[in-house]
Amino acid sequence: MTFISSKIWSGTITCSMIAIVAAPLSAQQKTSTANPRPEETEVWTPVPAIVTPGVTDAVAPSDAIVLFDGRNLDEWVSARDKSPAKWVVANGVVTVNKPSGDIQTRRSFSNYQLHIEWRVPADITGTGQERGNSGVFLATTPVGGYELQIVDSYNNKTYVNGQAASVYKEYAPLVNAMRKPGDWQTYDVIWTAPTFKGDGSLATPAYVTAFHNGVLVQNHVALTGVTKNEGTPDYHKHGPAPILLQAHGDKSAPISFRNIWARVL
């Protein structure tokens, strides 16, 4: 072991050195296992960032991106042509303008936490999917999106993987937590974006956890691809993507939204 005593050593670590260094640690580990101290499992850094929560869930935490606070649609554009969003803002609420089509965020997101509130009109008409249909596409891409369904599911029967809080045509909600038409509903969502390999194939699927009115309705479900009304979902490589709100073509009165914010994860 002559090289250890050298003043300047830039050689390679040898197996015998590792053995010498490792031996005392093994002894210490044995001692710790036999007689552990609380300090050995305390972690002090990194310290989590301080976030000031809103006074209610409707108010964005201090680190959130406010997507709609009742004043304007500056954070949104028309999905059709990326022109300024033309849905109707009044009294702190934005209401779907069906002829102008879907709207989407100007920003693109990967993983995030989303809070959004929505209301089906008290005088809603129609049945099944034709009753207050809208949706939150958790990511919208040129090759498809992933829809968390919005529709009136208060005493309104439809296929269960298409009712409110379903991941449309992929996962029915765990329970129906719907409030009656005219009442505000909340979605709180954790979105984990899918990842892709260099060749475009899927590396890890998208995951959704969602609460409807504070009730868990999707528990870290792994999506099988982009939402399809006909056929089975599939994946196509994409990167960060906008969030989209659906202007559905049903004949019922348009629904409204308020208090929309997201936290990048």
User: Which residues lie near Mg ion (CB under 5 A)?
Assistant: 133, 135, 246
Q: What SS3 class is residue 161?
A: helix
User: Of how many residues is the chain composed?
Assistant: 265
Nearer to Mg ion, 78 or 246 (CB): 246
Nearer to Mg ion, 60 or 148 (CB): 148
Minimum CB–partner distance for residue 147 and Mg ion (Å)? 6
Minimum CB–partner distance for residue 227 and Mg ion (Å)? 9
State the Cα angle at 168 between 164 and 171, rounded to 5°.
90
The residues, any chain, with a CB within 8 Å of residue 216's CB and separated by 6 or more, are 174, 209, 210
Q: 105: which DSSP letter? A: E
Nearer to Mg ion, 179 or 237 (CB): 179
Q: What SS3 class is residue 107?
A: coil
Minimum CB–partner distance for residue 53 and Mg ion (Å)? 30
Nearer to Mg ion, 135 or 181 (CB): 135
Using only C-alpha atoms, what is the Rg of the chain?
25
Q: What SS3 class is residue 7?
A: coil
| Bond before 46 cis per omega within 30 degrees | yes
Residue 174, judged by CB atoms within 10 A of its CB (0-12, 13-18, 19+), counts as middle
Q: What SS3 class is residue 254?
A: coil
Q: CA 160 to CA 142: how far, in whole Å?
A: 27
Nearer to Mg ion, 186 or 227 (CB): 227
Minimum CB–partner distance for residue 221 and Mg ion (Å)? 18
Minimum CB–partner distance for residue 168 and Mg ion (Å)? 6
Of 188, 220, 222, the closest CA to residue 206 belongs to 222
Minimum CB–partner distance for residue 151 and Mg ion (Å)? 6
Q: What SS3 class is residue 17?
A: helix
Nearer to Mg ion, 105 or 149 (CB): 149
Minimum CB–partner distance for residue 162 and Mg ion (Å)? 8
Nearer to Mg ion, 105 or 133 (CB): 133
Residue 187 near residue 196 (C-beta atoms within 8 A): no
